[in-house]
A = this chain, B = another copy of it.
Amino acid sequence: MAQLIFTEDRAHPGLDDFRDLSTADRRPDRPGGRGLVIAEGTVVVGRLLASRYPVRALLGVERRLRELEDELAGVDVPAYVTSAETMAEVVGFHLNRGVLAVADRPEPPTVSQIVDSAQVLAVLEGVGDHENLGALFRNAAALGVGGIVLGPGCSDPLYRRSVRVSMGHVLRVPFATLDSWPGGLDVLRARGFTVAALTPRADSVPLRGLREKVPGPIALLLGAEGPGLTDEAIEAADVAVRVEMVSGVDSLNVATAAAIAFHEVSAGSAPLE
């Protein structure tokens, strides 16, 4: 059971992990960066506690920590209980979610480990927007995508904002970085994946019906909203597919286009709780 520690001492060394939160999630080689994983709010903190991420500590107002009683029963970490005011002063801004947890980053899985356990993968190129990246993980979790492979130009899924927008699903959907691009896609192909690039290019085929043509594992290659995938990435794919859209309309947000593609190819048969 987590140990509840009541304090209003802003200088308490146990609170050090929670100071300057707006930069603490940056990589340790960046100014103020400590590479911590930060979860905000009871839902996301609960997911962090249930994840493989080693939680270091919690900080919250009493009401929110009590809401997490069940999730805290099995973990042995300090949980600092303060007023909302003390919390805001330590963190540096006002958090209306009332509870935070910090964790270390475990060793990331390899691409091979991810590939082995998935039937559908998302492979991202140049998705640098933290909110889009977080939304993409949330959609992947909901729609049965087994893992996410990060190509070049993607931001860090463990940034605080991505963790929040993902509703904590960056902590559940495994992800790994592909070092060689786009050549590394051969690793996926060697494991039986068909690599399908999502692009509005004229020579793409409609996404609709892709599942019938490709019954086996699929890796969906997705680029950032705006520029889309590079030509090199599209050339390296086995097939180019498009979401059919009305002409003259901007392309969809990348997380939305991804959700449509995930729905189209996922087995998607498990009922909702």
Question: Hey, which bits of chain A sit against chain B, CB under 8 A?
Answer: 43, 135, 138-139, 141-144, 167, 169, 200, 202, 206, 208, 242-253, 255-256, 259-260, 263-264, 266, 268-273
Residue of B nearest to A252 (CB): B142
Q: Give the top 8 A-B pairs by smallest Cβ distance, nearest first.
A: A244-B268, A142-B249, A200-B272, A247-B273, A260-B263, A142-B245, A256-B259, A141-B249
A169 to chain B, nearest CB (A): 7
CA distance A75 to B70 in the complex (A): 63
CA distance A172 to B143 in the complex (A): 30
Q: Which of these, B246, B250, B260, contacts A260 with CB under 8 Å?
A: B260
CA distance A111 to B119 in the complex (A): 44
Residue of B nearest to A256 (CB): B259
Q: For chain A, what secondary structure do more than half of its interface residues adopt (helix, strand, loop), or is it mixed?
A: loop
Residue of B nearest to A172 (CB): B249
With a CB–CB cut-off of 8 A, which chain B residues contact A246? 141-144, 270
Q: Which of these, B141, B208, B259, contacts A268 with CB under 8 Å?
A: B208
CA distance A259 to B249 in the complex (A): 14
With A249-B169, A255-B256, A259-B256 as given contacts, are A242 and B138 in contact (CB-CB < 8 Å)?
A: no
CA distance A135 to B169 in the complex (A): 22
CA distance A139 to B243 in the complex (A): 12
Q: Is the CB of B270 within 8 A of A245?
A: yes
Q: Is the CB of B260 within 8 A of A245?
A: no
A110 to chain B, nearest CB (A): 24
With a CB–CB cut-off of 8 A, which chain B residues contact A248? 273
With a CB–CB cut-off of 8 A, which chain B residues contact A141? 246, 249
With a CB–CB cut-off of 8 A, which chain B residues contact A250? 43, 138, 142, 167
Q: List 22 A-B contacts (CB under 8 A).
A: A43-B250, A141-B249, A142-B245, A142-B246, A142-B251, A143-B243, A144-B245, A167-B250, A206-B268, A242-B272, A243-B263, A244-B268, A244-B269, A245-B270, A246-B270, A247-B270, A247-B273, A255-B256, A256-B256, A259-B260, A260-B260, A263-B263
Residue of B nearest to A200 (CB): B272
